[in-house]
Amino acid sequence: MRKLLVTLALLLSPLSLASPAQDLFDQASFYLQFYYYGPATLNLKELTARYQEELDRACAPQKDTCAYSRAVPIIQQMVRELNDNHTYYLSREDIRGVRESRQGNAPSRTLRIGITHLPVPGSRDRLIVDVVEGGPADEAGLAYGDRIIAINGRLLSELPDDNQVVQFLNQSVQSGRPVVLTILRGPERQRLEVTLTGREINLARFPSLKIRPNGVAVLKIPDFDAQGQVGRRVHELVREAQQKNARAMVLELRGNSGGLLTEMIISAAAFIDDAYVALMDRYQTERNEFRVRDGRLTITRNGRTESTELSFLTRWRGPLAVLIDGNTASGGEYLASAIQRARVAPLVGVPTLGIGNTTTRPFSLIDGGALSISYNRAFFADGTPFPARAIPDIVVESSLEQLANTGRDLPFEKALEALGIRPTGR
C-alpha cells in the first residue's frame, strides 16, 4: 500500500505542481462547465480547452510559478465569449463594491456630484442620464435629460475633445469648490445655471419618488441591491404617492440594473397581487420559490418554507405605466415581465437587455475574486418560463441624441398618453 502511494506520488508530481494561474483557470473552468445554465449555446468543453491553450502560451515563460494575474484576463476573455451579462469575473475589489451596495452603504471615496453623463453626438456637450438620489446634483434639482453646455462659465464647445470635457468636469468637482453648470432643460430649452459642490457620496442606489405638477407620480427604482431596504422603500413611496393623491404613476425602470431577487419581488408586490418567482438550476438540485402574497414573504427551498410578515406592504391600484429600455436588466426585467403578465400596466419603451430569465450565482475563486455564473432559470407560478426580454406593449424608439437636442423624453410622453394624461412638459 505504501509503495503504491509512493509510485503514485511520483507519477503525479508534474501535475500536482500546477501553477497558481493553472489552479485558478481549472477552478473557473470547472464552475463554468459544470453549472452554467444560461442562454449561450457554445460548447463549453471546447471553449475551456481553447482557452487552456491561451493560458499555456501566457504561462510558457514562468511555468510553475505563473501567477493568478496571468489567468485573470484569459478567464475574462473566455466568459465574454458567452455574451451573457449574467456570467462574469469579479475581482476582489468588485466583490467589495457589491458587498457595499448590498449594505446600502457604498462610499464614493472621492468627491462627486452624483451624475452619470454621456456625450451628445455632434457636440462637446454632456447629457445627464442618471442622478444619484440625495447627491449634490439631486439636491440642486438636476434631472434626466438635462444637457450640460458650460462648466464654470466655460462653454464645452470650446474644448478640443470629449476626454478633455470629462477631465475638466472631474477636476472642477475634485477641487472641492462650488461648480457652476449651465444646462438646457426641457422642450423649451430653458437655460439654467446650477451651482453645486462635490462631496463624498453614497453610491448605493435607492428608489425615489417625484410628483409632477400634473399629479403624476414618477417612481424610479435604479436597482434592487440594498438588502432589506429597496423593497420596503418602494412600498413607502407608493404610500406617499397615495397620500398625496397622485392621479397616476409612471414606474421608471429604464437603466434598472437588477440586484437581489427578494428586493425585486417585494417591490413587485406593490403593483401586483401575487408576486412569484420559482428558480431551478441545471441539475434540478434545488427548487427555490419566492412569493409575496397576503402580507407575507414566503421562501420555499425544496419544500422547506420560511415565511416572514411584511408589515409595510401597500398596493398601487391607480393607473400605471412602466418605462423600460435596453439597459433595463435582470431584476428590472423580472419586474417588468411580472407586471406585464398581471396585465396591470403597459410597458413603454424598447425591449430590455435580455437576462430576465436567469439568476447569477458567484463562485469564490482562489485569487480572492469570484466567477458569477448564470445558475438558475426563472418560472412563473403556472410553470411558464420568464421571458429573456421584456417586450414593450407600446414601442417607442428614442435616442439620446434626440433627447439632448429637443429636450423631449418621448417614451415618457407616450407613458403619459397611455395613462390618458395630456403631456404638458415637465
Give Cα 225 to chain centroid, integer Å. 8
Which sign does the torsion angle of CA 12, 18, 23, 25 carry?
A: negative
For the bound state, the minimum distance from the C-beta of residue 318 to another protein, rounded and expressed in Å, comes to 38
User: Residue 205 or 291: which CB sits closer to another protein?
Assistant: 291
Q: Applying CB under 8 A, which of residues 3, 10, 15, 422 lies at the interface with another protein? A: 15
Site string (60-99) toward another protein, x via CB under 8 A: --------x-------------------------------
Could you tell me which of 269, 271, 266, 264 has the C-alpha nearest to residue 317? Answer: 271
Which of 41, 284, 311, 384 touches another protein by CB under 8 A?
Answer: 284
Which residue from 7, 9, 295, 402 is in contact with another protein, where contact means CB under 8 A? 9
Indicate the residue among 17 and 155 with the shorter CB distance to another protein: 17
Pick the binder of another protein from 3, 304, 343, 422 (CB under 8 A). Answer: 304
Distance CA 352, CA 268 (A): 17
Does position 283 interact with another protein (CB under 8 A)? The reply is yes
Near another protein by CB under 8 A: residue from 34, 295, 308, 399: 34
One residue of 42, 49, 366, 395 binding another protein per CB under 8 A: 366
> Is residue 302 a contact residue for another protein (CB under 8 A)?
yes
Q: Which of 41, 285, 311, 384 binds another protein (CB under 8 A)?
A: 285
The maximal CA–CA distance of the chain, rounded, in angstroms, is: 88
Single out the residue of 25, 27, 225, 276 in contact with another protein (rule: CB under 8 A).
Answer: 27
Task: Give min distance, CB of 30 to another protein, in A.
Answer: 5
Per rule CB under 8 A, is residue 400 in the interface with another protein? no
Question: In the complex with another protein, which residue's Cβ is closer, 43 or 175?
Answer: 43
Sort strands 208-211 and 216-220 into parallel, antiparallel or unpaired.
antiparallel
Least spacing, CB of residue 335 vs another protein, in Å: 24
C-alpha cell at 408: 423631449
Q: Could you give the C-alpha distances from 35 to 215, 285, 286, 377, in angstroms and in order?
A: 49, 11, 12, 12
Q: Contact between 155 and another protein (CB under 8 A)?
A: no
289 near another protein (CB under 8 A):
no
251: left (phi over 0), alpha (psi -120 to 50) or beta: beta
Provide the residue type at 142 as one letter.
Answer: L
Distances (CA, A) of 49 to 53, 75, 78, 267, 304: 7, 12, 10, 43, 40
With CA atoms as reference, report the closest residue to 152 among 131, 132, 170, 130: 170
- Residue (of 349, 119, 148) closest to 256 by Cα position: 349
Q: What is residue 419's three-state secondary structure?
A: coil
Instruction: Compute the Cα dihedral for 144, 169, 106, 83 and give only its sign.
Output: positive
Contacting residues toward another protein, per CB under 8 A: 5, 8-9, 11-12, 15-16, 18, 20, 23, 26-27, 30, 34, 68, 282-286, 301-304, 366-368
